[in-house]
Amino acid sequence: MLFLSIVHHYLLWHYSRAFLEIFHVWLNFLWFVVHFFSIPQLIRSWLSPWKRMVEDRGEKWNLEDLAGYIIIGLISRIIGSILRTIIIGIGLICLLFTVLAGFSVYIFWIAAPFAIILLFGFGITLLVA
């Protein structure tokens, strides 16, 4: 009778409280991936110059300085947007893998007690036969 009580309490924990705890751990992993790759910050600064590399325009009106200012600013923004796009893409791929890993953990968690019972029964049949 004690064994059935232990099994009952284990299954109650396994399918109720542990589900919530796994969900909270999964949310922590999702939070980590989003903040590790700084996805919100990178999206907000998508078209900013790379590492704030800009050329000073200068005090006087000079066409050569103005052209250098525009070209260097444009190139810096293009490089910044390309690199930010790559980092955001890698972050979203890692986020997708984290979501898929969470779903696979849940599927494993649901099936684990049944798999233990089936494997135990299969082992007994191998011993008897």
Q: What secondary structure does DSSP assign to 47-113, as a single string? A: TSPGGG------SS--HHHHHHHHHHHHHHHHHHHHHHHHHHHHHHHHHHHHHHHHHHHHHHHHHHH
Where exactly are the structural domains of the chain? Answer: 2-102
Residues 92 and 42: beta-carbon distance below 8 Å: no
Question: What pLDDT, on a 0 to 100 scale, did the predictor assign at position 72?
Answer: 84
Residue 53 clears pLDDT 70, i.e. is over it: no
Three-state SS at 45: coil
10 vs 97 pLDDT, higher one? 97
Residue 121 clears pLDDT 70, i.e. is over it: yes
Residue 109 clears pLDDT 90, i.e. is over it: yes
CA atoms within 13 A on the CB side of 59: 0
pLDDT tens for 59-102 read: 677 777 778 888 888 888 899 899 999 999 999 999 999 999 99
Question: What pLDDT, on a 0 to 100 scale, did the predictor assign at position 60?
Answer: 73
Q: How confident is the model at residue 55 (pLDDT cuts 50, 70, 90)?
A: low
Q: Record the tokens describing residue 128, joined without a space.
A: 């008897």
Question: What pLDDT, on a 0 to 100 scale, did the predictor assign at position 56?
Answer: 67
Measured over the CA atoms of residue 44, residue 25, residue 86 and residue 54, the dihedral's sign is: positive
